[in-house]
Chain A
């Protein structure tokens, strides 16, 4: 993976942890809690340091990576009038929101589970600003606007100033560029403060290895108090080994609407984390008819493309994934058994054969016969079930020792009474999909 979204709460926690170091001269309270039920919120209010939950009016909203929570009517900030939400009201609202499923304006659909609760911050629209940074092409880009709040996306080009900051730019040049580009419509009284904050914000974004960081709005209160009302952040998780201490405990939640990973997907992800090889599995449709076990990241994509193109119905494609980087026989067996088990759970609704695509390009260094040994062992355990689902197996592979691999897998399938066709590099990599669907 690379860039991964984190919760608003975790993003704010990183700010808070490094605030003194980066944002000298400003103050940030980090009054936020992340809860997964109304009861948890109430329990939190009893803890030392969280008395504000009982004393101050609150704001509650889901913290599940999706944006436009205001437009989706998922921000609780008033009962009768803004700023009157009590602890009880917030807890009740959270429980109510969790009770059913939620459909967003975007069509994403799922169960709400995580909420961030904070004090209500009275302020005026004039105190709201916008700031964000991300990578565009090869450069970092800092975006600033005098208008914060959710309306900023309308009229982006007129309202937002942006500055490209090349990776090798010196701090002095970067600071100069930001100073020169601070939006003109920021009031004079805030201008110096905003400039200073923007420079610090960029350094923080850069040093903390964020891939994307947006505060909308950032509210500049009196006495240099800053309120981060809404935050969106993605981290470059490849920097994780450098940042473990600076980031602290970080969770990468699944996107809202994508069901949480199935036990099988989790098991493969765990095996992947332990292995030097790569093992990936995503279930797209458990009832799907075409199952794939493809070696290599690029090849797995072209098989998925071709199945979607040729089957006429993308729902036929049951899974997406790949194994590569020379997995051991044991790892391949585990991967294969996981796929075979999923494949033989449900009959095809239309009564058609199941198709198993064991595909792959010509390997650079993976020993094909060795990986196929693991698949053959899985066949032996699942042959009966595979036959019960009229499974047709199509194999295509090349690379080190492929002749032996193809011969072994053909012999094993014949011995077990499984339908199989095997092809080597002389056959186009994805042509087995055409053959399987033509029959």
Chain B
């Protein structure tokens, strides 16, 4: 045991509660944490990949996941779950988190009114797994100067006023969340603030109880004394009394149970929380206050007298030298006015002396002596990674391979017609590019997608062919107008040769070639074509580079493969456009005898 949280502690925040998360990040900035305290957000219904937050004057992006498991896999060191699910789902969220072995040390549950039986199961499951549950029905807790849960402490101004921005010497445990803040304030005024504090929650069954927290604080050398604010109802305070009597707790405790009013009213009025209802004399606030005083716990005359008691104990410990002076730390100030940025850029930056591509100054990649080719630039700007030589060379090979395919293909033809209409290079290029899609060039995307799908699902080549037949789809990447087994496409041969000589492995290509064997046995020209080979080898490249499958799927969905085709073929289109300009060909009009006219008079409806 020891401190509940450190300055390294990171949480996964379940529910995209932006205001609470922003308060955590404002706190992080104020106390100069190096990493934000919220590593990730879980939002089951969100389609966003991240949420933007302010971090001081700047903004940061916090990743958003659909479930806790994915978030924890991405952030294995985030060992706190802040469960802000509603009372209907909080139990399931907690149980799911406990089941992720070794991930969470602490789970805070904010929902109020979880069915008691579910709360008991959840608390027991956590205890069995060695996970600390704070709550349910709590605002949370704080380790000042290190980590703050959600809304604890309120506004940043109040946090500084209540000295919650740096560690003091008191360990604070309350039931109520509202009074937690108040106690922090009282302790800041009458002593030197708190070292660690937890509001255990107002429901009848809460995970960690007073004694759990006080024992941890007893073992934490930064805590010099503890304050316990209990309530009428329950017997938890007696466990504390036993620990004091048996010497398990030696540090001074100041304690008070609220709800002394209840003795004046026989029944029917519920004073305070769900957990606060005295079922026996021993559970009344008065009886507990008396018993605590008798055990040697410092108990004030009344709640109104609590500040004086704190001052007395603190001054005494200070005089004895148990508590030392605190050097007040420097604080960073969160700007009052901040503007959210409309655009985000994560690939290049022109703010410094020299613009950079993914952190590389342009001069360090531009000239031949740098060793960077166009493949390297693409890997930096498209993937924000420096790819190894074999991969950048493969990218360059692809671009060179697809640069042109003669004037007759639809894109080149369009570009030529536009250029002959007198339009400029850009307009002409664009008309060419606009033809790229499902029928022209798009086969690269679909080949990658479907072959990968088949391979991911362990289909045999025969399964795959049947599957595509059932789906009513032709197999993208298979088939050529002219080329066949006996008359192979030398572009494909080149790509395959390069891959065989340079790729660490080509599992998807190997699979595709097995498919080709079956298709060509039916018809000679059903070969793996150049589009298919490129798409499939790109997947093999990314796999060999260590990308997870879902990220590769993301590349395919985003149209990245088509983008290679666009870059390469633009070279060819521009060539055709310049060719037209050079030749000075006139406006093109399609010969009428090449059009079948079949126009009937429209019928009246």
CB-based nearest B residue for A325: B112
CB-based nearest B residue for A430: B304
A363 to B154, CA, bound (A): 6
Q: Are B268 and A254 neighbours in the complex by a CB distance under 8 Å?
A: yes
Q: Are B185 and A301 neighbours in the complex by a CB distance under 8 Å?
A: no
Q: Are A363 and B259 neighbours in the complex by a CB distance under 8 Å?
A: no
CB-based nearest A residue for B183: A361
Partner of B261, one of A239, A298, A301, A399: A301
Q: Are B116 and A2 neighbours in the complex by a CB distance under 8 Å?
A: yes
* Residue A79, interface by CB 8 Å: no
Q: Which residues of A contact B268 (CB under 8 A)?
A: 254-255, 257-258
Q: Which residues of A contact B70 (CB under 8 A)?
A: none
Q: How large is the interface on B (under 10, 10 to 19, 20 to 34, 35 or more residues)?
A: 35 or more
Q: Are A296 and B179 neighbours in the complex by a CB distance under 8 Å?
A: yes
Question: Which of the segments B30-38, B39-47, B272-280, B321-329 contacts the partner chain?
Answer: B272-280
Contact (A320, B269) CB under 8 Å given A206-B117, A297-B202: yes
Nearest Cβ distance between residue B136 and chain A, in whole angstroms? Answer: 10
A302 to B304, CA, bound (A): 8
Q: Are A430 and B261 neighbours in the complex by a CB distance under 8 Å?
A: no
Partner of B115, one of A138, A242, A309, A434: A242
Partner of B154, one of A2, A107, A297, A364: A364
Interface centre among B153, B175, B268, B285 (most CB of A within 10 A): B268
* Residue A304, interface by CB 8 Å: yes
Q: Are B182 and A361 neighbours in the complex by a CB distance under 8 Å?
A: yes
Q: In residues 309-365 of chain A, which contact B (Cβ within 8 Å)? A: 309-310, 314, 317, 320, 324, 360-365
Contact (A1, B269) CB under 8 Å given A211-B116, A308-B264: no
Q: Are B158 and A399 neighbours in the complex by a CB distance under 8 Å?
A: yes
Partner of B304, one of A309, A320, A363: A309
A166 to B271, CA, bound (A): 29
Q: Are B271 and A236 neighbours in the complex by a CB distance under 8 Å?
A: no
A305 to B264, CA, bound (A): 10
Q: Are A298 and B304 neighbours in the complex by a CB distance under 8 Å?
A: no
Q: What mask results when residues 113 to 155 of chain B are scored 1 for a CB within 8 Å of chain A, else 0?
A: 1111110110111001000000000010000000000011111
Q: Are A238 and B158 neighbours in the complex by a CB distance under 8 Å?
A: no
A397 to B87, CA, bound (A): 29
Q: Are B271 and A301 neighbours in the complex by a CB distance under 8 Å?
A: yes
* Residue B181, interface by CB 8 Å: yes
Q: Are B265 and A284 neighbours in the complex by a CB distance under 8 Å?
A: yes
Q: Are B128 and A362 neighbours in the complex by a CB distance under 8 Å?
A: no
A241 to B111, CA, bound (A): 15
Q: Are B269 and A284 neighbours in the complex by a CB distance under 8 Å?
A: yes
* Residue A218, interface by CB 8 Å: no
Interface centre among A2, A284, A295 (most CB of B within 10 A): A2
Q: How large is the interface on A (under 10, 10 to 19, 20 to 34, 35 or more residues)?
A: 35 or more
Partner of B179, one of A236, A302, A431: A302
Nearest Cβ distance between residue B97 and chain A, in whole angstroms? Answer: 18
Q: Which residues of A contact B182 (CB under 8 A)?
A: 298-299, 361-362, 398, 429
Q: In residues 265-311 of chain A, which contact B (Cβ within 8 Å)? A: 282, 284, 295-302, 304-310
Partner of A306, one of B118, B124, B303: B303
A360 to B176, CA, bound (A): 13
Partner of A168, one of B115, B124, B177, B276: B124
Contact (A298, B176) CB under 8 Å given A209-B117, A309-B260, A399-B155: yes
Q: Are B304 and A433 neighbours in the complex by a CB distance under 8 Å?
A: yes
* Residue A400, interface by CB 8 Å: yes
Interface centre among B115, B204, B307 (most CB of A within 10 A): B115
A255 to B277, CA, bound (A): 14
A135 to B116, CA, bound (A): 10
* Residue B231, interface by CB 8 Å: yes
CB-based nearest B residue for A314: B264
Contact (A362, B158) CB under 8 Å given A168-B121, A304-B271: yes
* Residue A80, interface by CB 8 Å: no
A314 to B262, CA, bound (A): 11
Contact (A305, B302) CB under 8 Å given A258-B267, A300-B272: yes
**Which residues of chain A have a CB within 8 Å of any CB of chain B?**
1-3, 107-108, 135, 137-138, 166-168, 206, 209, 211, 236, 238-239, 241-242, 254-255, 257-258, 282, 284, 295-302, 304-310, 314, 317, 320, 324, 360-365, 398-400, 425-426, 428-431, 433-434
Can you report 13 A-B residue pairs in the complex whose CB atoms are below 8 A from each other?
A2-B274, A166-B124, A167-B120, A209-B115, A236-B117, A297-B273, A301-B259, A301-B271, A304-B261, A309-B302, A362-B158, A364-B154, A430-B304
Ranked 5 nearest A-B pairs via Cβ: A298-B176, A296-B178, A239-B115, A361-B182, A298-B179
